Amino acid sequence: MISERSRTAHSESADQLARRALDALRGTGGAAVAAVHVEAAASESGSDPAVALGAIRILGADVLAPYVLTGQPPSAGDTAAVGLALGALPPDETPPPPPPTGTEEAWIMAWVDWGLATVLARLDPANTPVRAAPLPQGPPLCDDAAPRKLPPATDADADGRPGGPGASVHEGWVSWSVRMGKLSSLALPGLDGPVHDAARSGVLGLARGATRATLRRDHPTAARITRWLAWLRADGVELPLDPAPLTEHIGLLGGGDRPALDTAVARRLLGLEDI
């Protein structure tokens, strides 16, 4: 089992990595993100490079968000560092089923890995040291799914991979929106799949979830869910609220490095200036 001390170390490392990604997105942190983070861990006394690699897995595709959102190619160092992180503990060949059938933590990790590997392969297909991760099954639908409904689930999609979210499986908007927030690293241009389809079908649940988290002063959750609303707006989906003022409001509240990165990505998706 993972000790509380290990969890804390990985969480702190992920926060530091998010700060590096945010600096790179703002143009103040240099070209590399993951490589610098791993190198710093290797050179600092008391730091563990394995924890730094684990932080890459925790942050997922957000490690590469500065490249996705600026259109710049990833540095060779970042490509190698992400590949090393994915290769150290390769994603499971058989992705876990979505909750409540499967364990939520394992399912979320499978989707985060998929997003990281997919973005890496798309940014630099010639030099990607890892193959694309298997596509996990999508989440249940929110019981507020509207106005767009997903088609009935099939055993497999056109590529023979596990099918998307079942149209007959529904979940309350509170727990559903929180779970979707944990997958906010997938809310990036160029990524699309069953989770994104679920977001399109659950716009009301996401709007309610973002509002609820904001009123509860749960800034990290509010930032994550609002980022999905920004992605939906960029995707051309009609929303029940304007995510721009909500994004600006959350950005003023703070909440740590990872919420700041979520907010910065949301602002880019919305075309807001001066991130």
pLDDT for position 124: 81
Co-location of 127 and 142 in the same domain? no
Co-location of 150 and 165 in the same domain? yes
Tell me how far apart the alpha carbons of residues 88 and 84 are, in angstroms, rounded to a whole number. Answer: 6
Decide which of 134, 162, 193 is a domain's last residue.
Answer: 134
Tell me how far apart the alpha carbons of residues 36 and 231 are, in angstroms, rounded to a whole number. Answer: 28
Decide which of 134, 151, 171 is a domain's last residue.
Answer: 134
**For range 131-159, the mean pLDDT:** 54
Q: Which residues pair with 142 in a beta bridge?
A: 171
Co-location of 81 and 52 in the same domain? yes
Instruction: Tell me the chain's radius of gyration from C-alpha atoms.
Output: 18
Decide which of 86, 108, 134 is a domain's last residue.
Answer: 134
Task: Give the H/E segment covering residue 13.
Answer: helix 4-26
Between 40-49, 79-88, 147-156, the lowest mean confidence (pLDDT) is in: 147-156
- pLDDT band for position 46 (50/70/90)? low
Q: Report whether pLDDT(153) > 70.
A: no
Co-location of 189 and 103 in the same domain? no
Question: What residue numbers bound the domain in which 196 lies?
Answer: 137-275
Tell me how far apart the alpha carbons of residues 155 and 43 are, in angstroms, rounded to a whole number. Answer: 48
- pLDDT band for position 99 (50/70/90)? confident
Q: Report whether pLDDT(109) > 90.
A: yes
Co-location of 84 and 213 in the same domain? no
Domain count, the chain: 2
Co-location of 272 and 159 in the same domain? yes
Co-location of 44 and 88 in the same domain? yes
Co-location of 84 and 157 in the same domain? no
Co-location of 56 and 87 in the same domain? yes
pLDDT for position 160: 30
Co-location of 127 and 141 in the same domain? no
Tokens of 114: 């998929």
Co-location of 14 and 141 in the same domain? no
**For range 189-210, the mean pLDDT:** 95
pTM: 0.86
Co-location of 148 and 226 in the same domain? yes
Q: In 3D, which of 92, 121, 85, 122 has the Cα closest to residue 107?
A: 92
